[in-house]
């Protein structure tokens, strides 16, 4: 079931339900794309109709972050839980390991995808990573060709928002994959070049604070979180 949270149609699913949806998609014929908006992107989408359409056009819209889940509660249409993109990606690795499907890693600075692949294989030794490409390319055509030649079932698109959403939507018909998913900086996280917050901070919904302390230059971007919640409160008060 979809829930409208400030104009974005989120799938109201638990992590297990999201994984089941992915398995259905992988068993199907269609090329699907998934997005994982957090509060920062949701705030941008409030004022950007094109971005909203890009996100709502996805087959799976997962709430990546405590901010969106809090907004859903404030609006009295609560989402079941946060389904962080990087955690969902990890579930996809387990699914692919089981089914034997191929994975292509696209994005991040040169060398990062290789490092991420190494770390993924340490945890999922049976995983078939069939190709990778960094995210700093000028021509898209050779990259699309390279992806198709590798014949992946799943494509991780880690170019940051909204570049990754545009890439997926624009090339939906050309890319011969089952499921592609926009995952922002997740390859950096898999590679270990950007560490995730300690478990207690994730549990207390303080992952954003951890990232802010580690990367203070994100401060400007992160101001979108309180601005988003302010807009949510405004909507709740106006009804
Ligand atoms: N990136 C990329 N190509 C670009 C711009 C960015 O591959 O042209 C990568 C960047 O190296 C990083 C990710 O996209 O790995 C974006 O990370 P960020 O943490 O900003 O993601 P977001 O918070 O937007 O999901």
| Residues 41-87 pLDDT 10s | 999 999 999 999 999 999 999 999 899 999 999 999 999 999 999 99
| 237 Cα to the center of ligand 1, angstroms | 35
pLDDT mean over 80-108: 97
Eight-state DSSP code of residue 184:
T
- Domain range summary for the chain, segments of one domain joined by +: 85-192
Query: Residue 205 CB: number of other CB atoms within 10 A?
Result: 14
Phi-psi sector, 136: left (phi>0), alpha (psi -120 to 50), beta: beta
| 159 Cα to the center of ligand 1, angstroms | 5
Tokens of 72: 């859903």
Protein residues with CB under 6 Å of any ligand 1 atom: 107-109, 135-136, 158-161, 163, 184-185, 187-188
Pocket residue to mutate for ligand 1, from 104, 135, 190, 212, most atoms within 8 A of Cβ? 135
Indicate the class that CATH gives domain 85-192.
Answer: alpha beta
Pocket residue to mutate for ligand 1, from 184, 186, 211, 215, most atoms within 8 A of Cβ? 184
Eight-state DSSP code of residue 61:
E
Each residue's pLDDT tens digit, 145-172: 999 999 999 999 999 999 999 999 999 9
Ligand 1 atom closest to Cα of residue 158: 14
Ligand 1 atom closest to Cα of residue 134: 7
Residue 59: closest CA among 179, 164, 148: 179
pLDDT mean over 197-201: 93
- Closest C-alpha residue for ligand 1 atom 18: 185
Ligand 1 atom closest to Cα of residue 64: 25
Eight-state DSSP code of residue 173:
T
At residue 238 the predicted structure's pLDDT band, cuts being 50, 70 and 90, is confident
| 202 Cα to the center of ligand 1, angstroms | 21
pLDDT at 169: 96
CB 235 within 8 A of CB 6: yes
CB 184 within 8 A of CB 85: yes
Determine which helix (DSSP H) or strand (DSSP E) holds 179, and give its type and residue range: strand 179-182
């Amino acid at each position: 079931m979809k829930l409208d949270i400030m104009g974005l149609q989120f799938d109201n699913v638990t992590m297990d339900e999201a994984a089941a949806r992915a398995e259905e998609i992988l068993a199907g014929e269609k090329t699907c794309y998934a997005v994982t908006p957090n509060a920062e992107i949701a705030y941008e989408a409030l004022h950007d109709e094109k971005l909203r359409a890009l996100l709502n056009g996805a087959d799976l819209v997962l709430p990546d972050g405590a901010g969106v889940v809090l907004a859903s509660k404030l609006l009295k249409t609560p989402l079941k839980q946060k389904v962080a993109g990087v955690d969902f990606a990890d579930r996809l690795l387990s699914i692919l390991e089981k089914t034997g499907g191929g994975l292509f890693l696209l994005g991040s600075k040169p060398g990062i995808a290789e490092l991420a692949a190494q770390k993924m294989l340490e945890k999922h030794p049976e995983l078939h990573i069939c190709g990778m490409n960094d995210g700093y390319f000028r021509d898209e055509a050779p990259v699309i060709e390279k992806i198709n030649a590798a014949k992946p079932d799943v494509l991780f698109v880690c170019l940051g928002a909204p570049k990754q959403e545009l890439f997926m939507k624009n090339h939906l018909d050309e890319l011969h994959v089952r499921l592609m998913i926009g995952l922002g900086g997740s390859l950096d996280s898999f590679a270990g070049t950007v560490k995730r917050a300690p478990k207690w901070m994730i549990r207390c919904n303080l992952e954003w604070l951890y990232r802010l302390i580690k990367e203070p230059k994100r401060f400007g971007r992160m101001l979108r979180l309180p601005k988003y919640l302010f807009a949510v409160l405004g909507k709740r008060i106006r009804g």
